[in-house]
Amino acid sequence: MAKTIQICSGGVSVNARRVPDDAIVAPDRLEVTWPGGGLPAEEGVTYWAQEGAQIGWLVSGSELVAPPIPFSFHQARRVRDADALRDALLAAGAPADGERIKVDDGARADITAMGTTALGAAAGTIPWPASYALGWITMSNTRIALPTPAAGLALAAAVGAWYAGIVQHARDIKDALLAAEDEAALDAVDIEAGWPD
């Protein structure tokens, strides 16, 4: 069996060493001994046998503690969390008639083309294609019937509005997170509230 000893210098764990399980850290933390060996005293070095401690942890009184997360790291992590939530919502697709519609780049181009065709058909300049009238294929591989150009426009507008709502809300959250000046303000930003259904 073995245990890990943290080697500290300047109040920070700078290294770690596996030692026999029966190793003993001196009360003044200046050396470690075990039968047949040890870690000698070195100027400016202390030894700590604290389970779970890691390199980079700080000496705080009689224990090692994890260093505080810098505000900028916490802020960047919250922005990444908000971006991940946005991406998950977009991957789930836009709601439409109890189904979900893809909104990736290719799918948005397709629905934009259908909406443009619906505009032309509604104006009477082109016919409404039978392929669109058959319906828009959803993520569950069912069809939402689009018998008329108006139905196509309504679907394209609803999907577009939902997509824009997700993207704009994600931007609002990111702006709020980046405007936060301290931990309390950062933690007050609810990244899960207010998303479009």
Which residue segment(s) compose the domain that 181 sits in?
Answer: 71-188
pLDDT computed for residue 167 by the predictor? 97
| Same domain, residue pair 116 and 179 | yes
User: Do the beta carbons of residue 101 and residue 94 sit within 8 Å?
Assistant: yes
| Same domain, residue pair 87 and 157 | yes
Q: Is residue 103 one of the residues assigned to a domain?
A: yes
| Same domain, residue pair 80 and 13 | no
Residue type, 172: D
Q: Are strands 136-137 and 143-144 parallel, antiparallel or unpaired?
A: antiparallel
| Same domain, residue pair 178 and 95 | yes
Question: Helix crossing, 71-92 with 149-179: angle to 10°?
Answer: 170
pLDDT computed for residue 192 by the predictor? 96
Q: Is residue 195 one of the residues assigned to a domain?
A: no
Q: Is residue 30 one of the residues assigned to a domain?
A: yes
* Number of domains forming the structure of the chain: 2
Closest to 116 measured CA to CA, from 157, 78, 88: 157
pLDDT of the chain along its 197 residues, tens only?
A: 789 999 999 999 999 999 999 999 998 999 999 998 999 899 999 999 998 999 999 999 989 999 988 999 999 999 999 999 999 999 999 999 999 999 999 999 999 999 999 999 999 999 999 999 999 999 999 999 999 999 999 999 999 999 999 999 999 999 999 999 999 999 999 999 999 98
Tokens standing for residue 71: 């505000």
Tokens standing for residue 144: 């939402």
Place of tokens 């936060």: 180
Q: Is residue 45 one of the residues assigned to a domain?
A: yes
